[in-house]
């Protein structure tokens, strides 16, 4: 192996370095010894699903998750049907890419609605249709609670506790949850929810981004590079470890400042920040090998 081995559990979500094309991402990961990527449906579809699956396979990359399905809160039959169709397609795409994890961003309130509880219940109804379908294809639906600032327009599931309340209605191999530090870092109940998720075998994915302020207009693209913000990333890694999670740790940062820079440089920086801020401190003294 010519490239230095990257950190073992590290996975780069392609949106973090979206200035890299899929081909460039595969090449850069190869050179950096990074063996895992999280993919998004848009760029995969653009490249071609089968071709993308071949590309990552040939590059020796594992796909740790596919983002994203979800948006399951439509109240009208037509919107609901479209959402179910789209999620079934997302499951197929995940299976083709060889990942067992489809991340779900569950959707906000329909236009004009103020009924959070009703929207959450429609998600459960949709999961009842999608979960067995996903399970049969070896894909797990991973409910991602989003920060409460997205509750109206993006995701009515705002805490890990709520995500578990939904997931636990279905078999653990069909529906799990995502712990993303950006979304749950503020929540004093997150530690107990992580333990609960681990005990129930529901920890489907662990994602990292840091919390930095001021938030930009629209707040979507305000995520910080690891170590730049307020999140105790190492503690969250310890919490998911203690809950029995030993899967990939995916870094997913939406930040125009990172996108404006050289992608390979951002990838190297991100891996370095991961070692420094996420791994056990003693690993800083020698080669990282966990």
Q: How many CA atoms lie within 13 A of 252 on its CB side?
A: 25
CB of 15 to its own copies, least distance (A): 20
CB of 7 to its own copies, least distance (A): 21
Task: By CB under 8 A, name the one of 231, 240, 266, 271 that touches its own copies.
Answer: 231
Contacts 24+ apart (CB under 8 A), 210-216: 210/181, 210/182, 210/253, 211/181, 211/182, 211/185, 211/186, 215/149
Q: Closer CB to its own copies, residue 54 or residue 189? A: 189
Number of residues that bind its own copies (CB under 8 A): 32
**What three-state secondary structure class fits 123?**
helix
Task: By CB under 8 A, name the one of 219, 221, 268, 275 that touches its own copies.
Answer: 219
CB of 9 to its own copies, least distance (A): 21
CB of 258 to its own copies, least distance (A): 19
- 19 binding its own copies? (CB under 8 A): no
CB of 273 to its own copies, least distance (A): 14
From CA 55, how far away is CA 62, in angstroms rounded? Answer: 11
- 78 binding its own copies? (CB under 8 A): no
Task: Please state the φ and ψ torsions of residue 150, each to the nearest 5 degrees.
Answer: -105, 10
From CA 43, how far away is CA 190, in angstroms rounded? Answer: 32
- Beta pairing, strands 210-211 & 223-224: antiparallel
What value does the CA radius of gyration of the chain take, rounded to a whole number of Å? Answer: 18
- Interface with its own copies in residues 136-155 (CB under 8 A): 147-149, 151-153
CB of 264 to its own copies, least distance (A): 29
Annotate each residue in 177-196 with x if it binds its own copies (CB under 8 A) or - if it does not, as one string.
--------xxxx--------
Q: How many angstroms separate the most distant Cα atoms in the chain?
A: 58
In DSSP notation, 222-251 reads -EEPTTSSS--HHHHHHHHHHTT--S-EEE
The enclosing H or E element of 36 equals: strand 36-40
- 217 binding its own copies? (CB under 8 A): yes
Q: Closer CB to its own copies, residue 30 or residue 110? A: 110
- 218 binding its own copies? (CB under 8 A): yes
Q: 34 with 272: CB under 8 angstroms?
A: no
- 124 binding its own copies? (CB under 8 A): no
CB of 147 to its own copies, least distance (A): 7
Q: What does the binding site for its own copies look like in residue numbers (CB under 8 A)? A: 109, 113-117, 120, 147-149, 151-153, 158-159, 162, 185-188, 211, 213-219, 229-232
């Amino acid at each position: 192996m010519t490239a230095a081995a990257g950190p073992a559990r590290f996975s780069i979500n392609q949106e973090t370095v979206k200035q890299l094309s899929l081909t460039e991402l595969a090449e850069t990961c190869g050179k950096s010894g990074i063996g895992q990527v999280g993919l998004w449906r848009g760029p995969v579809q653009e490249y071609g699903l089968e071709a993308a699956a071949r590309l990552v396979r040939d590059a020796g990359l594992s796909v740790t998750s596919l983002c994203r399905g979800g948006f399951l809160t439509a109240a009208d039959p037509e919107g609901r049907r479209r959402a179910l169709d789209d999620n079934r397609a997302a499951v197929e795409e995940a299976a083709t890419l060889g990942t067992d994890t489809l991340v779900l961003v569950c959707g906000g309130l329909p236009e004009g609605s103020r009924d959070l509880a009703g929207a959450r219940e429609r998600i459960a109804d949709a999961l009842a249709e999608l979960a067995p379908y996903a399970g049969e294809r070896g894909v797990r639906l991973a409910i991602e609670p989003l920060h409460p600032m997205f509750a109206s327009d993006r995701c009515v599931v705002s805490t890990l506790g709520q995500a578990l309340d939904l997931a636990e209605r279905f078999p653990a191999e069909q529906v799990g949850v995502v712990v993303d530090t950006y979304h749950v870092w503020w929540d004093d109940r997150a530690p107990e929810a992580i333990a609960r998720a681990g005990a129930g075998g529901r920890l489907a994915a662990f994602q990292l981004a840091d919390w930095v302020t001021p938030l930009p207009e629209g707040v979507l693209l305000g995520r910080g590079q690891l170590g730049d913000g307020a999140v105790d990333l190492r503690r969250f890694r310890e919490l998911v470890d203690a809950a029995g999670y030993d899967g990939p740790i995916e870094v997913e940062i939406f930040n125009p400042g990172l996108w404006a820079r050289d992608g390979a440089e951002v990838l190297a920086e991100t891996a370095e920040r991961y070692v420094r801020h996420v791994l056990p401190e003693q690993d800083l003294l020698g080669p990282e090998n966990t």
